[in-house]
Amino acid sequence: MTNIGNYEEKYRSFDWSQAREILGYKEGDFLNIGYYCSDRICEQGKQDKLALIWEGMDGTVKKYTFDDIRVLSNTYADYLRSLGVRPGDRVCIFMDKIPDLYISALGILKLGAIAQPLFSAFGPESLITRLENAETKVVLTTKKHASKVRKIKADLPALEKVVIVEGEPKKLEDWEALFNLETAEKGEQFESFAADLETPSLLHYTSGTTGQPKGALHVHSSIFAQHVTAKWVLDLRDDDVYWCTADPGWVTGTSYGIIGPWSLGVTQCVLDAGFTAERWYKFIQDHKVTVWYSAPTAIRMLMKQGSEIVKRFDMSSLRYLTSVGEPLNAEAVHWSKEAYGLPFHDTFWQTETGSIVISNYPGMEIKPGSMGKPFPGIEATVLDLKTHEPVVESGKVGLIALKPGWPSMFRQYWRNEEVYKSKFDKGWYICGDRASIDKDGYYWFVGRDDDVINTGGHLVGPFEIESALLEHPAVAESAAVGKPDEVNMEVVKAFVALKPGFEPSDDLELDIMNFIRKKLSPLAMPQEIEFVSSLPKTRSGKIMRRVLRAKEWGEDLGDISTLVEDE
Ligand code: PRX
């Protein structure tokens, strides 16, 4: 039996007041995510249950019960209050995936302040735009990353304190402080800020195609949606050991790496180490992970290593696999069934939506390559590209749009009202993605609106081309973009990274071309394949097609602050 039961029935009967009931919230109660993810779980008698199993790069494992998380997040809240942090102030968390990251996030929320998590890999340039825009008051960081903040401190007048929570620099600046969670006086009790439904909680920066990154502001009532989606889409249960591979610098790592699982009182694992297939499989084996939430990029990297290596590990604990962030190719679903005996379930959402909005549900038939169907309580459609009226014909491509009003929807782009407003039309929030809906109501992703290729007036989505390429045994990853063409305006060019053991050659290019010709319409056929060793990606693992495209067109690269440089 799955948590959601019958999807169709739930979709018909659900309204968001039920999400409040499922969380146990009653009209007039105060609502604080920090409290709901720790104190309340302890009040339910789960104080001694493990909340966090953390494993570091060197193999060190640390374990925390829900009571530990409650007391330690109180300790953070007390400390931040002593620094003068007030409700509504922005506190940035800038560190690797160490336990302090997760615990301080709850501490900030308990205080009523706004948590602003940023990827620890960001350099000073990426940091300054986000700290400046948010007028961040305090940055929590570690010795390893503090020097990057030092470089820009003079240009950040609103930044009062930089707190180093791990390691000790030789000399402290007068605006720096040391804090050690292990030795700090523990906060046995802390009265969480009595937030209401609209009190701001988290500020997540997303980078647009052009211009500055935008700060999507969320509120405490987002927990209603994160709680019920974690329960019904990720199918989380009391005895699960859950692993979300995302970094909380990305919304997946907060919505489903903190709030969803902990508001359900579920044990979660964190691996703070770089990717290798062996390390990941061993992590699943050692901690007996049952539910795994990952991303297509990671899945493709695992596919690249092949299924033989899977057999060296005991992964029998796994019972449910989900994916987010990019289109999940049909090939990845088939492969995971073969390699792990379980399919990955695709989930679609955005920083702006705060929680999963379209998905494949446990118990519902998966059509490999499809994103699934709208979550109960989410009214979704695709809009005509020109008129922005809902498309009625099944199979016709349009823009994915959602009716505003679900609890975890972003409330604004921080100090950017104009761009916020531009996301809405005719009563719909427009996601900026193209898809079609089939006769059974399944959504089929085509591409980011900006990534769609216009060849001779025909629109081609990169996803179908990349999915065809991925089925070729030599292809590990690919990106399809439009390159300029005198006749057709644009033609398709594919960038391909090969699996180990394959070398670029004209013969291989021809072989791949012949292989995909059988699968694609002539319009979607690439005119050219360029072999590359890797593809440009964001910190959250998304392929940045627009960077490849801009190079083809000789255009400015736009905002590339989230681009992962070759290390
Ligand atoms: O283009 C879609 C893609 O990622 C975008 C949102 O990115 P971000 O704000 O970083 O949040 C991602 C995860 C919460 C979307 O507009 N995207 C996300 N999931 C999928 C996807 N594209 C296709 N299929 C998905 N399942």
Rounded CA gap, 20 and 11, in Å?
16
pLDDT at 207: 64
Nearest partner of 535 among 490, 480, 464, 484, judged by Cα: 480
pLDDT at 447: 86
Residue 208 binned pLDDT confidence (cut-offs 50, 70, 90):
low
Q: Does ligand 1 lie within 6 Å of residue 466's CB atom?
A: no
Alpha helices (H) in 471-554, listed in sequence order: 506-517, 545-553
Nearest partner of 470 among 520, 516, 509, 531, judged by Cα: 516
Please tell me the distance between residue 560's alpha carbon and the centre of ligand 1 in angstroms.
17
* pLDDT tens profile 480-538: 999 988 777 789 999 999 999 999 999 999 999 999 998 887 878 999 999 999 999 98
Q: Does ligand 1 lie within 6 Å of residue 370's CB atom?
A: no
Residue 152 has pLDDT above 70, yes or no: yes
Rounded CA gap, 214 and 359, in Å?
25
* Burial (CB count <10 Å: 0-12, 13-18, 19+), residue 296: buried
Testing ligand 1's pocket by substitution, the residue of 118, 256, 348 carrying the most ligand atoms inside 8 A of its CB is: 348
Rounded CA gap, 243 and 261, in Å?
10
| Bridge partners, 324 (sequence order) | 347
Q: Residue 222 is encoded by which pair of tokens?
A: 């987002």
Q: Give the residue extent of every domain in the chain.
A: 7-437, 451-564
- CATH level 3 topology of 7-437: Rossmann fold (3.40.50)
Please tell me the distance between residue 349's alpha carbon and the centre of ligand 1 in angstroms.
5
Rounded CA gap, 170 and 24, in Å?
49
pLDDT at 540: 82
Please tell me the distance between residue 360's alpha carbon and the centre of ligand 1 in angstroms.
15
What's 281's DSSP letter? H
Q: Does ligand 1 lie within 6 Å of residue 93's CB atom?
A: no
Q: Residue 154 is encoded by which pair of tokens?
A: 């003079």
Residue 60 binned pLDDT confidence (cut-offs 50, 70, 90):
very high
Q: Residue 496 is encoded by which pair of tokens?
A: 């391909």
pTM for the complete prediction?
A: 0.91
Residue 567 binned pLDDT confidence (cut-offs 50, 70, 90):
very low
* pLDDT tens profile 425-483: 999 999 999 999 999 999 999 988 888 888 777 778 898 899 999 999 999 999 999 99
Q: Which residue, by CA, sits nearest to atom 21 of ligand 1?
A: 326
* pLDDT tens profile 81-106: 999 999 999 999 999 999 999 999 99
Please tell me the distance between residue 395's alpha carbon and the centre of ligand 1 in angstroms.
21
* pLDDT tens profile 185-199: 999 999 999 999 999
Q: Does ligand 1 lie within 6 Å of residue 272's CB atom?
A: no
Please tell me the distance between residue 218's alpha carbon and the centre of ligand 1 in angstroms.
17
How does 230-263 read in b/e, with b if 16+ C-beta sit within 10 Å? bbbbbbbbeebbbbbbbbbbbbbbbbbbbbbbbb
* pLDDT tens profile 20-34: 999 999 998 999 999
Residue 554 has pLDDT above 50, yes or no: yes
For 414, left (φ over 0), alpha (ψ -120 to 50), or beta? beta
Testing ligand 1's pocket by substitution, the residue of 119, 217, 226, 324 carrying the most ligand atoms inside 8 A of its CB is: 324
Average pLDDT, the chain: 94
Query: What CATH class has 451-564?
Result: alpha beta
Testing ligand 1's pocket by substitution, the residue of 206, 247, 255, 350 carrying the most ligand atoms inside 8 A of its CB is: 350
Residue 149 has pLDDT above 90, yes or no: yes
Q: Does ligand 1 lie within 6 Å of residue 349's CB atom?
A: yes
DSSP states along 6-59? -HHHHHHH--HHHHHHHHT--TT----HHHHTTHHHIIIIITTSEEEEEEETTS
Please tell me the distance between residue 68's alpha carbon and the centre of ligand 1 in angstroms.
34
Rounded CA gap, 432 and 453, in Å?
15
Residue 211 binned pLDDT confidence (cut-offs 50, 70, 90):
low
Q: Does ligand 1 lie within 6 Å of residue 538's CB atom?
A: no
Q: Does ligand 1 lie within 6 Å of residue 252's CB atom?
A: yes
Please tell me the distance between residue 301's alpha carbon and the centre of ligand 1 in angstroms.
18
CB 56 within 8 A of CB 273: yes
pLDDT at 320: 98
pLDDT at 566: 45
What's 256's DSSP letter? I
Q: Which helix (H) or strand (E) holds 61?
A: strand 61-65
Residue 565 binned pLDDT confidence (cut-offs 50, 70, 90):
low
Rounded CA gap, 128 and 457, in Å?
41
